[in-house]
Structure 1
């Protein structure tokens, strides 16, 4: 071994000085970094706190009226509970439901109520092929059939199909239901058609059963809609992945956007995408006048002024800004392909870039097998919207109404129902600047009574919220329900 290794050479004065210099330099750098952490520059503090305050204000607003102390409460009467559905002679009823997913949901709920009124055995509802979307999904493709029957086993006898001995029995078509049909009407007009030697076939019941039934039936309505009708496990699991992705950094807002071509045709409204687009919609409407659902003779502009049209992306964007939503708000938008494609969403995306939907959140190719199954895609939207902190719909309809009631029942978060008539008046007012419009938007929507209060008169205007009044218990504003 060399002497160089055996014997250390004495350090030179120069080398010792360098060592001390680097130690002092490191200490100086550490102290300065520590000082910056404790006392950041003014511009950093201002930017961060403003964004944080904006977020806090918006989400704080979203919590008002939600924790109201009420909860689901299905206290059926003793007479209802003591009635044995399995002790009666078996008379079978079949129901065909039509429309999109949420229209079908409503009819399935009503079918269960009708079966209970008639003391009939309900054959699992048949989903009619949707004429607009061409979806051939059956009940068991979308809903958990086993769960459905298990939850309702003490309310209605439900079978997956007719027993073999009944297959050749004559189908008796039920009379057409009028709107607001009550229990007496059902018994008088369907009861005499329900026999042991035939099968009662019921069609066209969409939104026709009265929303003002006896207390037990109102509770059953909630039980079916919010407890029994559950999507198949794999649909729930897929939706849960989407919920986790968009909610991994905190709460999110869900928008149900009604911007599809058929929506503009059916509502008799203009899309706001320019004269060429308006002319295309008008020509479609003239070619298919049966699609115009409103009986009103109002022109498109008059419909808009009356608050009868869906809010487009620009109008939704102004609404969100007025409500105080910060630019970095995570937004899940539900709905079909907008008329005008992605460009129709640009005004909203420009103001709120964290705009996502099921396609952008899912992995590549994950939804390919169901891309032609609109009912299943709508089920994914339903679950993600249900779980959001805030839910807003650009227009009314079956999905919006179902979700508003379901969210109240489960207590997931706040529903904000846009006051479209007041909004369009603000948007058309050219004397107000942007800040004044935003201030008025917030004022309008903070003064609206929240859907979650059982005693609020606003509940009488919406059927899905009206039924929740009969299914909740607790103290609200000094009143006990």
Structure 2
């Protein structure tokens, strides 16, 4: 303790003593010279004036360091190194601990934070290409920072106590599609100044998952984290229940807050509740800064998985992590993906025929741009990469053959046959089913959303993440990995890759150079969302949700 006090003393800046002793000398509390006269009134006035100035200065300092709102989550660093001296960090920590905010969620307590990245740059036994492959991107000083404006915080006092108007939202799709819709549901509730009923999860027609919100997400944590932004309730009050409830599902794409208010505010004020369905990609990507921050707060802080899911995901992630750095690949080669995209599976005519027949009988599953030929769709980058194409990409980027690979996603169409080309090049391939011990996954075998949540947790802790196809999981992982420290994320440049993949005469050396050149600027470095305003802030959290320090 004495040593720490000595270090703290040495780390503080020493001010010139002249000013202090000057005030001390003129203070009526100082020891006066031998004199029968009392201090003059002017010196007494100067003392009290100086005292007032000092108290004002210290008051400003306290207000500067002390957070003033439950709405704001202070800027925090997720890296293991900090530009601030440890003693200063300790002193600031003691200040916040002495004056804690009531129920204020901090970054470390509310966000889903991954296991630390492995440091391999100092290992002399690896090649330069391997070292470059595992090297993490430079975060350029961007760190999470959700500071809401004064106007937002003033409105929160009323909105967070709303008891008259209620918003009910029905969300659909897989886990990550549901997460996006829940985020927008919170934002819409804020726009309409309504209380939010816990979102209803529609039964997924592909996987038949009947999970409810509280089966996947920590409901109490969700309510507590958002308590200063919107009021979250379990159900509609009995006074709001009617025999016939209309569901609004005709919402255009990319609507603005002004459109939301103009369309629904009068109805909400009259009927006191509103039911919305089909929110997927309906809300504009370009919202006011406070609402963009709210999106990040919901996605990266409020939507935490339940403790059993989180604990199981962490156990499986540690089994991968403990052996060293690993790659997570979201391999989108499930049957429903091939049916929706209409792309060749790479497994032969027999498998392609099955997909073609399913497309004829399930036309509502198909994606748009149906007038494009299969070849045109592939060259436009609209097809998932096969296991063989992912293997060639990783080899071209310098991944060593002994690299450990975690495959996220559902059951691949074609089973082990579909994964064999990847396993031939990278034998250390694992899935959650292979890593889980007996009985761990049994309670969740018919719960696709829970299995996807486990994939999400393990993928977040990987040193490198690669999606084989775009989609909600790819965007969610891109933004979340940026938010927690800019973990390496490689987005395949499929349009430019495919001609090289189909070129049978290009050498491996030339192919590798081309792959590295194509992906030079697509490895997780901070990319500002405001360079392209149609980008989703949940995939590009800079600069709305991350500050540069």
- Partner of 1:184: helix, strand, or coil? helix
Contact kept? 1:183, 1:213, Cα under 8 Å = yes
Change (3 A) 1:162 1:59: farther
Q: What is the aligned partner in structure 2 of residue 133 from structure 1?
A: 207
1:397 & 1:471 partners in 2: Cα distance? Answer: 22
Contact 1:211 / 1:467 at 8 angstroms: preserved in 2? no
Contact between 2:387 and 2:419, CA under 8 Å: does it hold in 1? yes
Is the Cα contact below 8 Å between 1:334 and 1:357 reproduced in 2? Answer: yes
Conserved? CA contact 1:92–1:122, under 8 Å: yes
TM-score normalised by L of structure 1: 0.84
- The answer for the alignment partner of 1:292 in structure 2 is 366
* Counterpart mapping for 1:45-64 below 5 A: 52-54=125-127, 57-64=129-136
Question: Is the counterpart of residue 226 in structure 1 residue 300 in structure 2?
Answer: yes
- Residue of 88, 101, 124 corresponding to 2:198: 124
Q: Which has the larger displacement, 198-207 or 453-462?
A: 453-462
Name the CA distance, whole Å, in 1 between partners of 2:389 and 2:347: 12
User: Contact 1:261 / 1:338 at 8 angstroms: preserved in 2?
Assistant: yes
Change (3 A) 1:292 1:463: farther
Secondary structure class of the residue paired with 1:255: strand
Distance 2:487 2:533 in 1: 17
Correspondence 1:196-207 to 2 at 5 A: 197-207=271-281
Indicate which of 140, 143, 151 corresponds to 1:71: 143
Q: 1:432 aligns with which of 479, 484, 506?
A: 506
- In structure 2, how many angstroms separate the alpha carbons of the residues matched to 1:386 and 1:176? 35
- Conserved? CA contact 2:483–2:541, under 8 Å: no
d(CA) in 1 for partners of 2:313, 2:160: 36
Secondary structure, aligned partner of 1:111: helix
Q: Which position in structure 2 is the counterpart of 1:302? A: 376
> Who is 1:348 aligned against?
422
Q: Deviations over 1:221-264 (max 9, x none)?
A: 00001100000011010001011101112121110000001101
Equivalent residue for 1:91? 165
1:68-217 counterparts in 2 under 5 A? 68-83=140-155, 84=157, 85-88=159-162, 90-168=164-242, 171-174=245-248, 176-195=250-269, 197-217=271-291
Aligned to 2:434: 360
Deviations 1:108-161 (A, max 9, x none): 000000000000010000000001110000000000000000000000000011
Instruction: Give the superposition deviation at 1:338.
Output: 0.5
1:288 shift after superposition: 1.8
Residues 388-397 or 197-206, more deviating: 197-206
Is 2:221–2:304's contact at 8 Å kept on the other side of the alignment?
yes
Query: What is the distance in 1 between the residues matched to 2:475 and 2:139?
Result: 20
| Residues 414 and 308 of structure 1: CA distance in aligned 2, closer, same or farther (over 3 Å) | same
Structure 2: gaps of 5 or more residues: 1-121
Shift, 1:453, TM fit: 3.3
Q: Which structure 2 residues correspond to residues 264-279 of structure 1 after superposition, within 5 A?
A: 264-279=338-353
- 424-433 or 220-229: bigger deviation: 424-433
1:453 has 2:538 as partner: no
Deviates more, 1:402-411 or 1:60-69: 60-69
Counting only pairs closer than 5 Å after superposition, residues 251-270 of structure 1 correspond to structure 2 as 251-270=325-344
Residues 311/98 of structure 1: CA separation in 2 closer, same or farther (3 Å cut): same
Unpaired runs of 5+ in structure 1?
1-48, 476-481
